[in-house]
Structure 1
């Protein structure tokens, strides 16, 4: 396994389309097959964060600790090669997302025995909406977020290849933010 030979050294928290059962998980499956990613299980944020949807039901975690909810997602250890591929998918060089630190804890089922135990936290990195539009995205979503990106929140998600190609993703975000709410 790649993690044992220390190739997979960066922990990334996935909360949206990279999770199992969603359209971009194929990237992580490919990275796991090549030894460039290892699944570490289901985790949740230690602090509350807003998790919202933007244009085409694309999920965004907003770097606004204290707002929203504890967000549940999946944790992966990735190699430098794997990290580069995920950064590319997330558009970090194009101003779509920013990879920044986040504190996580294993996601439990909330029973009393678990609450009495010491919960170990771990530091990872998450892909947050770029700071240039996060506050407007929070307002556009009525300052309401959700705890988990599930099939319900993903209903209406449009894959990148199926979106209008004449505009950049940042153009789509700008139009989404400035459009009247339904």
Structure 2
């Protein structure tokens, strides 16, 4: 598969709030300005994956290949410095998301990339909580449910909120 980036850069598939025009895209814009990211255009996952909304309208890709839909998103080539900033936003060190391999396709051909998946400790539970029905794309309508970090309750715990959401009854 084509890598489409310098050896020291990582290919990152974004499917939610990091996409162009969505709430966390300003981080990607900053990385593009500082030459720590290069947008490579739209892509779709080669295999279906569950894409669901969790508490506060937060989008999660769940590592259950073959279930859900082929997910549409955007591909970026990201420097190690830029990757550390995205990892921080995605809570890699705090058990929020895991950066894992994913295969994507698009006009640039197939690529082996990485994406931010729901942490394994709650990912499958999110899928079940959503009735094993996922999205093929995080849309503007989905983003309408998103609550920015600054507007979430003070003192809330991301992981505790997700676990509470998973254990609650569906809407």
Normalised to the residue count of structure 1, the TM-score between the two structures is: 0.88
RMSD over aligned Cα, in angstroms? 1.8
- What is the CA distance between 1:6 and its match in structure 2? 4.2
Gaps (5+ residues) in structure 1? 108-118
* 1:123 aligned partner: 112
Match runs of 1:6-85 below 5 Å = 6=6, 9-85=9-85
> Is 1:7–1:79's contact at 8 Å kept on the other side of the alignment?
no
Quote the Cα distance in structure 2 between the aligned partners of 1:28 and 1:100.
19
- What is the CA distance between 1:165 and its match in structure 2? 2.0
The superposition leaves residues 31-78 of structure 1 with CA deviations (integer Å, 9 ceiling, x where unpaired) of: 000010000000000000000000001000000000000000000001
- What is the CA distance between 1:152 and its match in structure 2? 1.5
> Is 1:41–1:75's contact at 8 Å kept on the other side of the alignment?
yes
Structure exhibiting the larger radius of gyration computed from Cα positions: 1
Normalised to the residue count of structure 2, the TM-score between the two structures is: 0.94
The superposition leaves residues 128-157 of structure 1 with CA deviations (integer Å, 9 ceiling, x where unpaired) of: 000000111001111000100001222221
SS in 1 for 2:40: strand
Quote the Cα distance in structure 1 between the aligned partners of 2:49 and 2:10.
21
Quote the Cα distance in structure 1 between the aligned partners of 2:42 and 2:80.
22
- What is the CA distance between 1:175 and its match in structure 2? 1.5
* 1:145 aligned partner: 134
Quote the Cα distance in structure 1 between the aligned partners of 2:62 and 2:83.
20
